[in-house]
Structure 1
Amino acid sequence: MASVPLTTVLREWGRIGALGFGGPPAHVALLRDLTVERRQWIDQREFEDAFAACNLLPGPASTQMSIYCAQRVAGRTGALVGGLAFILPGLIVCLVIAAVALQGTPPAAVDAFGMGAAAAVVAVVAQAGLKLIDPRRGLPYVIAGVLGAALTGPYVVAILLAAGLCELGRHKLLSVAWPALIWLAAKVGALSYGGGYVIIPLMYGDAVEAHGWLTEQAFANAVAYGQITPGPVTHTVALVGYGAGGLAPALVATAVAFAPSFAFIMLGARHFGRLRTSPNARAFLDGAGPAAAGAILGAAVPLLTAIDVTWQWFVLAAAAVALLLRVPPLAVLVGGALAGVATTLF
Structure 2
Amino acid sequence: MPLSIPFPVLLRAFARIGLLSFGGPAGQIALMHRELVEEREWIGEEDFLHALNFCHLLPGPEAQQLATWIGWRLHGWRGGLAAGLLFVIPGAIIILSLSTLYAMAADLAWVEAVFLGIKAAVLAIVVQALVRIAGRALDTVLKRLLALAAFAGLFLFDLPFPLIVLGAGLIGIGVSALRPEWLALKSSGVSGALPARPWRSTILSVLLWGAVWAAPMVLIAVTLGQDHVLWEIGTFFSQLAIVTFGGAYAVLAYMAQEAVQDFGWLRPGEMADGLGLAETTPGPLILVTQFVGYLAAFRAPEPFSPLVAGLLGAALTTWVTFTPCFLWIFAFAPWIDRLGQTTRLKGGLAAVTAAVVGVIANLTAWFALHVLFEVVGERRFGLLRVYWPDPASLDWRAGALALVACLLAFCAKWSVLRILAACGAGGLMLGLTI
TM-score by length of 1: 0.65
Q: What amino acid is aligned across from residue 107 of structure 2 in structure 1? A: P
Distance 1:19 1:316, change over 3 A: farther
C-alpha contact 1:199 1:234 (8 A) present in aligned 2: no
Corresponding letter in the other structure for 1:107: D
SS at match of 1:94: helix
Alignment partners' CA distance in 2, 1:133 and 1:71? 31
Contact 2:294 2:313 in 1 (8 A): yes
Q: Which residue of 2 aligns with 1:134?
A: 152
> For the residues of structure 2 that align with 1:29 and 1:135, how far apart are their CA atoms?
22
Offset at 1:319?
A: 5.2
Asked if 2 retains the 8 angstrom alpha-carbon contact of 1:86 and 1:231, the reply is yes
Could you tell me how far apart the structure 2 residues matched to 1:133 and 1:339 are? 36
Q: 1:107 to 1:39 in 2, by over 3 A?
A: closer
* Counterpart residue number, 2:52: 51
The verdict on how the C-alpha distance between 1:83 and 1:205 changes in structure 2, with shifts beyond 3 A counting, is same
Give 1:210 deviation, angstroms: 1.8
Residues in 2 aligned to 1:71 and 1:102: alpha-carbon distance in whole angstroms: 37
Q: Which residue of 2 aligns with 1:107?
A: 107
The DSSP-based 3-state class of the residue aligned with 1:216 is coil
Helix, strand or coil at the partner of 2:246: coil
Percent sequence identity is 26
CA distance in 2, matches of 1:19, 1:226: 14
Query: Equivalent residues in 2 for 1:174-193 (5 A)?
Result: 175-193=227-245
Unaligned runs of 5+ in 1: 125-130, 153-172, 306-312
SS of 1:134's partner is helix
Q: Secondary structure at the match of 1:235?
A: helix
The change in CA–CA distance for 1:221 and 1:84 in structure 2 (over 3 A counts) is same
Mark the runs of 5 or more structure 2 residues left unpaired by the alignment: 124-148, 171-224, 298-309, 378-388, 406-419
SS of match in other structure, 1:85: helix
- Deviation per residue, 1:278-309 (Å, 9 max, x gap): 969x99xx9xx99xx9xxx9xx9xx989xxxx
Contact 2:376 2:390 (C-alpha < 8 Å) held by counterparts: no
- For residues 16 and 48 of structure 1, the distance between their equivalents in structure 2, rounded to whole angstroms, comes to 18
> Does 2:39 align with 1:38?
yes
Q: Who is 1:260 aligned against?
A: 324
Residues 95 and 239 in structure 1, CA contact (< 8 A), matched pair in contact too = yes
Say which structure is richer in helix: 1
Q: Is contact 1:64–1:261 with CA below 8 Å preserved after alignment?
A: yes
Aligned to 2:173: none
Give the length in aligned residue pairs: 284
Equivalent pair of 1:93/1:229 in contact (CA under 8 Å): yes
Distance 2:276 2:428 in 1: 13
Q: In the alignment, what sits opposite 2:213?
A: none
Aligned-residue CA RMSD (Å): 4.7
Q: Distance between the aligned counterparts of 2:108 and 2:397, measured in 1?
A: 27
Instruction: Show the counterpart of 2:333.
Output: 269
Which amino acid is the alignment partner of residue 5 of structure 2? V
Partner of 2:74: 73
1:106 maps to a residue whose letter is A
TM-aligned CA deviation for residue 109 of structure 1: 3.9
Shift of 1:211: 2.1
Q: Give SS of 2:251's match.
A: helix
1:139-288 correspondence to structure 2 within 5 Å = 175-245=227-297, 246-272=310-336, 274=339, 277=346
Cα distance change on mapping 1:314 and 1:49 into 2, 3 Å: closer
CA distance in 2, matches of 1:226, 1:108: 14
